[in-house]
Structure 1
Amino acid sequence: MKTEFIIERQRKFYDTGKTRSYAFRKKALCRLESSVKKYEKQLIAALHRDLHKSSFEAYMTEIGMLYQEIGYLKKHLKGWMKPERVPAPLAQFPSKCYRIKEPYGVTLIMAPWNYPVLLSLEPMAGAIAAGNCCVLKPSDYAPHTAAVMEKVIKDAFPTYYVATVLGGRKENECLLEQNFDYIFFTGSVEVGKLVMKKASKTLTPVTLELGGKSPCIVESSADISLAAKRIVFGKFLNSGQTCVAPDYILADQKVEKKLIFYLRYWIRKMIGEQPLSNPDYPAMINQKHYQRVMNLIRHEKIAEGGYGDCVSRQIAPTILIHVKEDAPIMQEEIFGPVLPILSYQSLKEAKALIQRRPKPLALYLFTKNDKVEQDIISHLSYGGGCVNDTIVHLASSYMGFGGVGHSGMGSYHGKDSFDTFTHKKSILKKTGSLDIPVRYMPYGQIKERLMRFFLKF
């Protein structure tokens, strides 16, 4: 079915007003949840084929989190939909003011390949909860998962309400030429710039969930073994193909050697002495990205790993030491299982290095020092993060998730998802029983004094 025809049908359906009721939205979320459960085994199998994800990791990082988000949306949706009363200014007496939550209309969700189920269906659930129609464009880099998701959506919804468009760059370009009411994009910075450029032609609002080089600071007071354990978890999950993975470590010189020891220890403890033989260890998405990451390792000093298998597209968990700030691996987001370590002598030095770079999507700090914690949180700008852990801040429907500056704009998860896909329409309602004449001409000194009095409140 042609893209233009899909959008035209969705716009006609949206204009009927059927998507606006609470009952319709709640039922749609239930249908999505039921369809995902129906195809859960197929989704897990597809994730293994595309990314070599284990069933445990597939459920923990994608399907389970999706169920949690849908449940949260269903639980709170009725309250979020209610009109919001706000105070009316005295200058407009007698009146009442309120805001109505209305959908944008026909929305486009462009999803990435690294978490192809979660990062497709989680924002889509938010769009549905907000009363929109939706076109989903999964990444063609994870074709098996995209094919199953198409089944999930066809089983749950008619295409005039929610539709999937499969394909690659050609289909992406075609979609971006259409006139949507909202675009939600997750992916690279470069493609995000293209999406924003295209959206600007029709003044379409956008949310951009991008990435960047997320730093991890290990301060001298930290529990080094626990820090290393949690860094290994966050970094090598999905073979490092996580937008909020720790991209590089800034380690206090006093604890650098100890940190390296425990990083190596926990890699071997968790993933094994022969990580490429571990059946649960994921692979790079394709040969292009496998080779890109392997090239970044060249000419760097390796403390652990540093090798791969081009047939299975797996790269061993790799630790790089004595890395320079101007090294090639520090110039782009790694998006693979390679972790460079840079050392610092003072926290001021570490902060300055981060501030010289574009604002990251995440920042992680390991410390027991409350003053250090407040210093970092207060003086560095980043999308979100953790103190004494990695990546798990995005696992809560109670907190929004999103970037700032170079790492994106807008936020979602839980109520932030509902708000992202909702326009708040402000209304002031006046009665006809009383019409205070102060604002009307002719003006005079008495009216001006009254006007100045009223506008104080």
Structure 2
Amino acid sequence: VRMERQAVQRAREAFQSGRTRPLEFRLQQLHALQRMITEKETEIATALKQDINRSQYDTPLLELIGIENEIKLAIDRMAQWAAPRPVEKNVLTISDEVYIQPEPLGVVLIIGAWNYPWALTLLPLVGAIAAGNAAVVKPSELSEYSSLLLRELYPVVTGGVAETQDLLRLRFDHVFFTGGSTTGKLVMEAAAQHLTPVTLELGGKSPCYIDKDCEIRVACRRITWGKFVNCGQTCIAPDYILCEPSIQSQVVDCIRLTLLEFYGADPKCSPDYGRIINQRHFNRIMSLMEGYTPVVGGQSDSSQCYIAPTVLKDVPPHSRLMQEEIFGPVLPIVTVSDMDDAIRFVNEREKPLALYIFCNDKKAVKRMIEETTSGGVTVNDVMMHYTLSSLPFGGVGHSGMGRYHGKHTFDQLSHQRACLIRSLKMESVNLARYPPQDRRRARRSPTRWQQTADINSNGQPIV
């Protein structure tokens, strides 16, 4: 507890000293973070290889490029984001100075996730720095090698569940958590003791609807990449497929051919195919597959935490597999009679973090977007909405609260302070608001607000 308390105290003292507020200091910190990413790319890739067998080619694509782009954007736009923002006035404030001033919240706790331990830890940090906050960073202990490397490069708090719980007992000005919904509830409960606002980036079962009239081969190629990259351990990976029975076999065949193209006849030997993070998650995923006969894959090796890319067809809608987020390389297919049935299926369940629609009919796409809800939606591809800093990334309902990326992170970790500055002159304008009230004086006032004193309860003028 002492270590966590000291880390928070140092961050609090740094913030209260005013050191984190000047734009010049924020820029220096962001440039330093950029240099760290550039100089340590090889070490980062090695750590990820040890943690989840991440391909050295996937590390820049899946994590580092995104961080670098966020840093560059923050450096370029930070002065604009932090500037006072004039707002519309009314007749009562016509001669006043009225604006919104973004200001830092204070000390932000960032709890990272293990599946993308660099992006999901450092992306919120970029926004916290840009907004002028001090931050306490807690990377996930499950991605052990990445966590140790982060500790060498950056002042972070390491440890497991006990250390995280100790941190959450302390007071912060904002808690930014990425992880599962069960832990998210505990984070929210702990933050409530201090009335601390939270951003919860959770997950859930993201549906993927394939219309029978779309280019199924292309759709399956894109779905296969999104589902099995990082061994399925991606919060916005397609969790399951919805399609009509008439195309189910074609979908299976296309995914099988794509897997052969991506990972070869034996994905276990492919340098591009990952591993499950640990034995506990390996056992959890294997238990979800019990009772099913895979139509693709299904092989596993406990000693390596390896599970082959696996497809299951005709999965019952109310099975355990369809109740829990899979977070692994297992893709169930559930058949629906048509788009109406798919919409009902999605709406009967918790609001997902992402919704994927593969369909050529623009009217049908628009209808599905309008009649469902999700944190984000991508049409005719998967996960690509995450790559845009201009789009807010976050969940809704059970899949999370709050949003980030680009300016959205800056706004999330800033207080939007309402400011009104007026002169001590022209006091006569204010006479109508002071007692003792005089109806005639109010009637002579030029403002609409003061004129309402001359209207009775029936809306009729008082004469």
TM-score range, shorter chain: over 0.9
Letter in 2 for 1:89: N
TM-score by length of 1: 0.95
Query: Do residues 196 (structure 1) and 188 (structure 2) align?
Result: yes
Q: Secondary structure at the match of 2:326?
A: coil
Letter in 2 for 1:439: R
Shift in CA distance, 446/405, structure 1 to aligned 2, threshold 3 Å: farther
Matched residue, 2:346: 354
Matched residue, 1:156: none
Q: Shift of the alpha carbon at 1:448?
A: 5.2
Q: Shift of the alpha carbon at 1:78?
A: 1.1
Counterparts of 1:99 and 1:55 in 2: how far apart (Å)? 45
Deviations 1:130-179 (CA, angstroms, capped at 9, x unpaired): 111111101110110011111221xxxxxxxxx30000011001000001
Work out which of the residue numbers 242, 245, 248 in structure 2 matches 1:256: 248
Segment drifting more, 381-390 vs 257-266: 257-266
Counterparts of 2:112 and 2:296 in 1: how far apart (Å)? 33
Deviations 1:54-74 (CA, angstroms, capped at 9, x unpaired): 111111101121111111111
Matched residue, 1:247: 239
Letter in 2 for 1:433: K
Work out which of the residue numbers 430, 434, 440 in structure 2 matches 1:440: 434
Work out which of the residue numbers 290, 295, 300 in structure 2 matches 1:298: 290
Unpaired segments of 5 or more residues in structure 1? 154-162
Query: Do residues 418 (structure 1) and 410 (structure 2) align?
Result: yes
Matched residue, 1:38: 39
Shift in CA distance, 455/439, structure 1 to aligned 2, threshold 3 Å: closer
Shift in CA distance, 456/232, structure 1 to aligned 2, threshold 3 Å: farther
Counterparts of 1:208 and 1:389 in 2: how far apart (Å)? 25
8 Å Cα contact 1:103/1:423 also seen in 2: yes
Q: Shift of the alpha carbon at 1:443?
A: 2.2
Counterparts of 1:38 and 1:426 in 2: how far apart (Å)? 41
Q: Shift of the alpha carbon at 1:207?
A: 0.2
Matched residue, 1:389: 381
Query: Do residues 65 (structure 1) and 57 (structure 2) align?
Result: no
Query: Do residues 227 (structure 1) and 219 (structure 2) align?
Result: yes
8 Å Cα contact 2:295/2:312 also seen in 1: yes
8 Å Cα contact 2:240/2:332 also seen in 1: yes
Query: Do residues 113 (structure 1) and 107 (structure 2) align?
Result: no
Unpaired segments of 5 or more residues in structure 2? 453-463
Matched residue, 1:138: 139
Segment drifting more, 88-97 vs 339-348: 88-97
User: Number of aligned pairs?
Assistant: 448
Matched residue, 1:158: none
8 Å Cα contact 2:442/2:451 also seen in 1: no
Counterparts of 2:112 and 2:51 in 1: how far apart (Å)? 15
Segment drifting more, 209-218 vs 91-100: 91-100
Matched residue, 1:126: 127
Deviations 1:356-392 (CA, angstroms, capped at 9, x unpaired): 1010000000000011110111111100021000011
Q: Shift of the alpha carbon at 1:446?
A: 3.9
Counterparts of 1:448 and 1:165 in 2: how far apart (Å)? 62
Q: Secondary structure at the match of 2:149?
A: helix
Q: Shift of the alpha carbon at 1:256?
A: 2.0
Query: Do residues 314 (structure 1) and 306 (structure 2) align?
Result: yes
8 Å Cα contact 1:36/1:152 also seen in 2: no
8 Å Cα contact 1:231/1:390 also seen in 2: yes
Matched residue, 1:167: 159
Letter in 2 for 1:201: Q
Q: Shift of the alpha carbon at 1:455?
A: 7.5
Deviations 1:226-262 (CA, angstroms, capped at 9, x unpaired): 0000000000010000000000000123322221211
Q: Shift of the alpha carbon at 1:277?
A: 1.3
1:261-276 to 2 correspondences below 5 Å: 261-276=253-268
Matched residue, 1:453: 448
8 Å Cα contact 1:244/1:362 also seen in 2: yes
Letter in 1 for 2:8: I
Shift in CA distance, 453/186, structure 1 to aligned 2, threshold 3 Å: same
1:321-340 to 2 correspondences below 5 Å: 321-340=313-332
Q: Secondary structure at the match of 1:184?
A: strand
Letter in 2 for 1:94: S
Q: Shift of the alpha carbon at 1:264?
A: 1.1
Shift in CA distance, 456/197, structure 1 to aligned 2, threshold 3 Å: farther
Q: Shift of the alpha carbon at 1:452?
A: 7.2
Matched residue, 2:101: 100
1:16-31 to 2 correspondences below 5 Å: 16-31=17-32
Counterparts of 1:422 and 1:61 in 2: how far apart (Å)? 27
Work out which of the residue numbers 394, 400, 409 in structure 2 matches 1:408: 400
Letter in 2 for 1:445: R
Matched residue, 2:177: 185
Q: Shift of the alpha carbon at 1:307?
A: 1.5
Letter in 2 for 1:406: H
Counterparts of 2:382 and 2:450 in 1: how far apart (Å)? 49
Counterparts of 2:261 and 2:32 in 1: how far apart (Å)? 41
Letter in 2 for 1:386: T
Deviations 1:98-138 (CA, angstroms, capped at 9, x unpaired): 11111011110001100001101111111011111111101
Q: Shift of the alpha carbon at 1:346?
A: 1.8
Work out which of the residue numbers 357, 371, 375 in structure 2 matches 1:379: 371
Letter in 2 for 1:326: H
Q: Secondary structure at the match of 1:2?
A: helix
Provide the alpha-carbon RMSD of the alignment. Answer: 1.5
Deviations 1:284-312 (CA, angstroms, capped at 9, x unpaired): 00011111111111112311001111111
Identity %: 38
The structure whose Rg is larger is 2
Letter in 2 for 1:394: Y
